[in-house]
């Protein structure tokens, strides 16, 4: 059964209230989201920093960003310390703050991961989706599936 284990608002709020050590190098990370098929709802973004937390409730950062147009949009994750991360996003068309799935657990809403990583019969691993964030000009492209 295909289960992304993304629990919407709970997941995102844990990232919204995370803290970092003072003096740690950080910058805004730009995410370019493509293949947006509806101008309704929100894009929910979850940033993870380890295999153990990937797709769980503990995020480094979480964002809820309104969708204003079809096609593409840029999202900036502010004040992210440099490090290794994996990103999970989905287009919450009906704004219910959760990834809607069918009775088999297959997503009905579009989703994507950093590196455009894909899993076999489930989500990708942290290793497939992870990337190094070490400069302020880093851009992560994610195509919604």
Q: Which of 20-24, 25-29, 120-124, 141-145 has the lowest mean pLDDT?
A: 20-24
Query: Is the separation of the CB atoms in 33 and 43 below 8 Å?
Result: yes
pLDDT in the model for residue 25: 84
Residue 55: the pLDDT is 96
- The CA distance from 138 to 145, in Å, is 22
User: Which pTM was predicted?
Assistant: 0.84
Convert the pLDDT of each residue in 2-34 to its tens digit.
444 444 433 444 444 444 445 578 999 999 999
pLDDT at 23: 57
Q: Mind listing the pLDDT tens digit for each residue in 32-73?
A: 999 999 999 999 999 999 999 999 999 999 999 999 999 999
Domain ranges of the chain: 9-143
Determine the average pLDDT of the residues in 116-143.
96
Spatial separation of the C-alpha atoms in residues 34 and 144, rounded to whole Å: 6
Specify the pLDDT at position 14: 46
Q: Tell me how many degrees the CA angle 118-124-130 measures, rounded to the nearest 5.
A: 100
Task: Please report, rounded to a whole number, the percentage of residues in the chain having pLDDT higher than 90.
Answer: 81
Indicate the class that CATH gives domain 9-143. Answer: mainly beta
What is the phi/psi pair of residue 73, to 5°?
Answer: -155, 155
Task: Give the residue from 143, 141, 144 showing the smallest Cα distance to 32.
Answer: 141
Per-residue model confidence (pLDDT) at position 121 = 86
């Amino acid at each position: 059964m295909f289960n992304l284990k993304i629990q919407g608002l709970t997941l995102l709020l844990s990232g919204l209230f995370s803290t970092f050590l003072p003096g740690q190098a950080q910058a805004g990370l730009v995410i370019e989201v493509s293949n947006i098929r509806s101008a309704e709802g929100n894009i929910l973004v979850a940033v993870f920093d380890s295999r153990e937390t990937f797709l769980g409730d503990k995020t480094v950062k979480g964002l809820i960003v309104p969708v204003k147009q079809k096609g593409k949009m840029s999202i900036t994750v502010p004040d992210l310390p440099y490090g290794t991360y994996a990103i999970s996003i989905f287009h919450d068309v009906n704004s219910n703050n959760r990834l809607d799935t069918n009775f088999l657990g297959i997503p009905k809403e579009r989703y994507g991961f950093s590196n455009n990583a894909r899993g076999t019969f489930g989500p990708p691993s942290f290793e497939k989706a992870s990337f190094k964030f070490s400069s302020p000009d880093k851009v992560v492209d994610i195509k919604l599936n």
